[in-house]
Amino acid sequence: MIEARELRKEYGGFVAVEGSTFSVDSGEVFGVIGPNGAGKTTTLKMLAGLLDPTSGSAEVAGYDVAETRMRHHLGFLPEESPLYEEMTPISYLSFFADLYDVDGDVAERRIHDTLDDLQLEHRHRQLGDMSKGMKRKVAIARSLINDPEVLIYDEPASGLDPLTTNYIIEFTERLAEEGKTIIFSAHNLFHVESICDRVVIMNEGQIVARGDLDQLQREYGETTYHVYTTVELADSVRENGRYRSVVQSMDAVEEIRASAAEAGGEVIDIRTEESSLEEVFLNVAESGTGGSRYVEGEEPQ
């Protein structure tokens, strides 16, 4: 559904994106994350046909991103999305429906159905008088007005209150369940972790890691074992009448089991904790770019 091949974007002597190659399958939610200045937004704008790559190529829904027809199959939500503030949500969305040549009756039904799904009231209030959360819902509705197969969402919940943020994330999940192919970028890695099937991590313009969340955790994360015993051991901490030791391997767990038995006690619980996507991201970012790396078991895409 989306193919990017060696995308490169250079501004003068500055390389913003270098050698970005990946694919996104139909119906997949694909995360693009990285620190500020990593090249995420530049990559998304090239995929949306808003920036011409210096070299390389990309296709969306079978169309080269330079083709005008491609945009009829794409819904793009940029991080900053100014609206025509003198318009109402209805007039604004009707205007964009006309631009996409959506039939009038279809457009009216789609507009109201989408605004119902987004729980947006005050549809005849001027956009300039609406809250940021309401405006963001209208921008999302605009991205859906042409019923695209592919959506590119750059920070869809940026700057919103927690309640509105959670609603927009849940709405994005529903779009994925309906079969939309989504590229999703956000600084809140909890949201990325909860919604994305696969992720690429960018740093200094390059993709430095990629894979599904389990693969990234195995490659860059850490697994720790929290072992609870009935007796105190070296380096253990007392918690709720028992003692907790933290180790990094099953061999160490067995050593704790033996030590507890020697002290007249036993292991009563073992809990495994794995790195979150945020911890994986920090590990990757701190290790530097090191060129494009691929998770074991996944072919470069």
Tens digit of each residue's pLDDT (9 = 90 or more) over 114-139: 999 999 988 999 999 999 999 999 99
| Domain residue extents for the chain | 2-218+278-286, 223-274
Helices and strands in the chain: count of H runs, count of E runs: 9, 14
For the chain, helix, strand, coil in percent to 5 are 35, 30, 35
Do 2-218+278-286 and 223-274 come out as alike in CATH topology? no
Tens digit of each residue's pLDDT (9 = 90 or more) over 59-74: 999 999 999 999 999 9
CA distance 142 to 90: 10
Compute CA distances 33 → 192, 239, 248, whole Å: 8, 37, 27
List the strands of the sheet with 242-247, edge to edge: 237-239, 242-247, 223-229, 267-274
CA nearest to 51, candidates 9, 5, 3: 9
Which DSSP string corresponds to 59-92? EETTEETTSGGGGGGEEEE-SS----TTS-HHHH
CA distance 257 to 250: 10
Tens digit of each residue's pLDDT (9 = 90 or more) over 240-297: 999 999 998 999 999 999 999 999 999 999 999 888 888 888 888 777 644 443 333 3
Q: Quick one: residue 288, left, alpha or beta (phi over 0 = left, psi -120 to 50 = alpha)?
A: left
DSSP code of residue 128: G
Question: Considering the entire predicted model, what is its pTM?
Answer: 0.82
Which CATH fold topology does 223-274 show?
A: Dna Ligase; domain 1 (3.30.1490)
For domain 2-218+278-286, the question of CATH label 3.40.50.300 is answered with yes
